[in-house]
Structure 1
Amino acid sequence: MTSDSAAISKPTPSADRIEAIDVLRGIALFGVMAVNVVMEFRVSIFEQFLGPRTPVSPIDRAIETILTEAIELKAFALFALLFGAGLAIQFDRLAISEHRTALLLRRLVVLLVFGVVHLCLIWNGDILTEYALAGFVVLPFLFAPRWLLALAALVFLALYLAMQAFPPAGLFPSRAAIWQDVMDANRIYATGGFLDVLAFRLREIPLIASLHAFVFLRTVGLFFVGALAWRSGVVQNTRVLFAIALPAIGLGAALLHIGIEPLGTVLLALGYGAAILGIAHFERGKRLLGWAAPLGRMAFTNYVAQSVIFGWIFYGYGLGLFGRLGITQSLAIGIAVYAMQVLFSAWWLRHHRYGPLEWLWRTLMYGVRQPMMLAEAMAVR
């Protein structure tokens, strides 16, 4: 191992970790889980485009409203903000390495490979592929000053809002194609074996890609916002965080109320993120929200694990509950899985430096096996 590789492959000291970011990532993962289990594993993701659904109970209706209005796209927007901040943190902490660009490119290539595997073999609702591609767009700008990051964020978010207002013709699938896909999903996901589900999953990818195309510009824009938040020191400035949180949440909610959903979603995500980060910086906030930090440190592992678990629960090669459960029942299953992951993550990180997939990602990024056990890491240091 070269001296340069040795230096950059050391673990980030605990004192250097920003626990509030881990907390926010862990909480955002709950929102992602809730939306995925209710709207994408329980039924076809395309069902929502066929018109209003009629939940069978008032509780189902209330939960669906909360998920749609307060959580659905906001949780994914939060994840994009966090990934952008994480990419900027990695970039800055590798400043002493002459191989910084190559390492970060390899990091994104490895993430892209993970994403394609997840997309094709596990679940086609994958967001890792989109994030890797967005990372390739953002990475060159991390060499630029903060004003250029801010300008890039404004440009990409403005392009996103323009595309929502004036959707390109032919980008979104026809209603007939959506209807046929939902009918096939109700049959294959519910009763098909693994190979049947795999074949249908691959066949759905072009339709899924059209959904990503509608939000890709937003993802890139939020990556820039996350990177700018890190570079400007906002992430650790509680006064600024709370100054952002309340107006962003209030204005975002108002815009959603009058039907300006794309901009309202972005503002709500910013407000949520700023509020949670601000609270998590205080001692009482740490005690209140600290349970989410281990989950956030292992978000990659937990995200993919959720796909594996929910696939087995809902698809025909497992319990085959696709289309058979209501919203409340499905969310209860999701919460149970999430709670188990909270406990598992805390236990795992008492003995290990990283989650299993985080360790593999880092090892492939550096091309050097990283110490996994805490005791092993101390011996290396």
Structure 2
Amino acid sequence: MPPAQRVWAIDALRGLALFGVLAINLDTEFRRTVFEQFLAPPPESAVDHMAATALSFAFEFKAISLFSMLFGVGLAIQHERLADHPRGGVLLIRRLLALLGFGLIHMFLIWNGDILTEYALAGFVVLPALFAPARLSLMGSVAFVFAYAAMPWIPLPFSFPDGGWLTHHALEARAIYSSGSFLDILRLRIAEVPQIAKLHVYIFPRTLALILLGAWLWRSGAIREMGKRPAALLASGLLLTAAGLFLTAQEKGYFEWHPDWAHASPALRFALSLLNGMTPVMTAFGYAALILAASGYGRARSALQWAVPIGRMAFSNYIAQSAILCLLFYGYGLGWMSNTGAAAGLGVACGLFAIQAVISRIWLRTHRFGPLEWLWRTLMYGQRQPWHRPAGSKRTASVVSRH
């Protein structure tokens, strides 16, 4: 797989992963409030139940796993491009600091389900590994996978809210988010951050594992080697996706096998925790393999072309999605939170994503980067970066990624 084609496939992957992130975020944190997902769901129509089940199977924890791996790939690409720069390490630190700033602004002023802050902090942990042999990134990824599987047994300096708090807070949050003013929602959003931060601390080892894995996939040349065997890549993608969805169904209780946790040995409990933690990653790997395999076939490549521009502008589109969903679902906008089912929410996600795909394609005809990608790059280098494409340039958004 030539270098430009590999980056094309990564941009397509990023765009498709962003749709999964959008669909899940809308379903779990805009259509309802963030802590409601930990409570028993209310009665819903058959259509809404089917939509919610499809979202859970296809995207829950899978899309964000793929997105996290791709962040690691992107970080490794930046490191590679700056390898000969005399201030390469400093620029990478500036890049992560800028991302941290964006994340904090996003978290407190727009939407507290932000993932950018966690990515920036994880990036600082991962950064030293980029200057070491690639195999250390893989070893670190494996170590953090085991650490994540062991989280249920690791004493934490905090406790999670109990059922009573969740029920009370869900009622209060729904009332404020669906009908409150901007200031009411801002106060609640800030007040929720400490509880949401606990969730981020809990999954932080998994995030580190995925980012390190993505970095290793790029630095080791594994992505290039996989691209040389499209048939094997396609078969692997089908197998991993099928296995991941099967294990997802088992984890959600669609099969009668249930472990007797009360009498299970510690080793069995750890193994099951590891399996449950890796199931979304396995599925995400399957998705990635299928897209990488498809990029080697002309017709499939043409069918995926629409996802490339939105993947190149993933940062701008991610923030835009948050702002737009706030206007649609919160009280200072249309207030749809109180009366939107899962099926309607999925329809909104598809519509919004389609609009962003069109806008991204049009934008990149005349611009090198998305608006926030350009600002991020400018902050990283400390000087204004070229934004518009030169007149007469024949380079298109489908060839290379610049961020």
Whether TM-score is above 0.5 comes out as yes
Amino acid at match of 2:24: V
What amino acid is the match of 1:326?
Answer: G
User: For the Cα contact (< 8 Å) 2:5–2:295, is it kept in 1?
Assistant: no
Q: Select 1:37's aligned residue among 26, 32, 40.
A: 26
Aligned to 1:250: 242
**Residue 54 (structure 1) aligns with:** 43
Q: Paired residue for 1:225, among 194, 206, 213? A: 213
Tell me the CA shift for residue 286 of structure 1.
Answer: 1.4
Match runs of 1:343-358 below 5 Å: 343-358=358-373
Identity of aligned residues (%): 48
**Is contact 1:173-1:210 (8 Å) kept?**
no
- The amino acid that maps onto 1:176 is G
Q: Does 1:153 align with 2:141?
A: yes
* 1:292-303 aligned within 5 A: 292-303=307-318
Q: Which residue of 2 aligns with 1:11?
A: none
Match of 1:121 among 109, 130, 136: 109
Deviations 1:280-335 (A, max 9, x none): 23222210101000000000000000001000011011111112111111221121
Please list, as runs of the form range in 1=range in 2, the aligned pairs for 1:95-174 lying within 5 A after superposition.
95-164=83-152, 168=156, 170-174=158-162
Asked if the contact 1:164–1:262 (Cα under 8 Å) also holds between the matched residues in 2, the reply is: no
**Would the alpha carbon gap of residues 377 and 231 (structure 1) be closer, same or farther in structure 2, given more than 3 Å must change?**
farther
Report the count of equivalent residues.
Answer: 364
In the other structure, the counterpart of 1:92 is 80
Code of the residue aligned with 2:294 in structure 1: it is: I
Separation in 1, partners of 2:122, 2:130: 13
Instruction: Give the corresponding residue for 1:26.
Output: 15
* 1:22–1:297 Cα contact (<8 Å) kept: yes
- C-alpha separation in 2, matches of 1:169 and 1:94: 39
Determine the C-alpha separation between the residues in 2 that align with 1:365 and 1:147: 28
> In the alignment, which residue of structure 1 is the partner of 2:289?
274
One-letter amino acid of the counterpart of residue 33, structure 2: S
Q: Matched residues in 2 for 1:204 and 1:23: separation?
A: 34
Bigger mean CA offset, 366-375 vs 246-255: 246-255
Q: CA deviation at 1:172?
A: 2.0
Instruction: Identify the residue that residue 336 of structure 2 maps to in structure 1.
Output: 321
Partner of 2:299: 284
- Asked if the contact 1:192/1:317 (under 8 Å) is kept, the reply is yes
Q: Which residue of 2 aligns with 1:9?
A: none
Cα separation, 2, equivalents of 1:251 and 1:172: 32
| Whole-angstrom distance in 1 between the partners of 2:142 and 2:35 | 30
Please, which moves more after superposition, 257-266 or 131-140? 257-266
Distance in 2 separating the partners of 1:272 and 1:348: 27
Partner of 1:173, secondary structure, is coil
Distance change >3 Å, CA 64–CA 360, structure 1 → 2 = same
Cα separation, 2, equivalents of 1:167 and 1:325: 39
| Structure 2: tracts of 5 or more residues without a match | 252-274, 394-403
Query: Any unmatched runs of 5+ in structure 1?
Result: 1-13
Shift of 1:197: 0.5
2:172 maps to a residue whose letter is D
Query: Is the 1:242–1:275 contact (alpha carbons within 8 Å) kept by the matching residues of 2?
Result: yes
Alignment CA distance shift 1:244-1:136 (3 Å): farther
* TM superposition score normalised by structure 2: 0.86
The amino acid of 2:244's aligned partner reads G
The 3-state SS of whatever aligns with 2:338 is coil
What TM-score do you get using the length of structure 1 for normalisation? 0.91
Deviation by residue 1:191-212 (Cα, 9 ceiling, x = unmatched) = 1111111010000101111221
Paired position in structure 1 for 2:269: none
One-letter amino acid of the counterpart of residue 140, structure 1 = P
Task: Work out the CA distance in 2 between the residues paired with 1:302 and 1:226.
Answer: 21
Provide the residue aligned with 2:265 in structure 1. none
Deviations 1:46-89 (A, max 9, x none): 1121224432x111101111111221110000100000000001
- Does residue 235 of structure 1 match 2:227? no
Give SS of 1:72's match.
coil
Q: Aligned with 1:350: secondary structure?
A: helix
**Structure 1 residue 19 displacement after superposition:** 0.6
Q: 1:110 touches 1:361 (CA, 8 Å); kept in 2?
A: yes
Paired with 1:27 and 1:34, the residues of 2 have a C-alpha distance of: 11
RMSD across aligned positions (CA): 1.9
Displacement of 1:377 in angstroms is 11
1:210 to 172, 176, 198: 198
Name 1:363's counterpart in structure 2: 378
- 1:372 aligns with 387
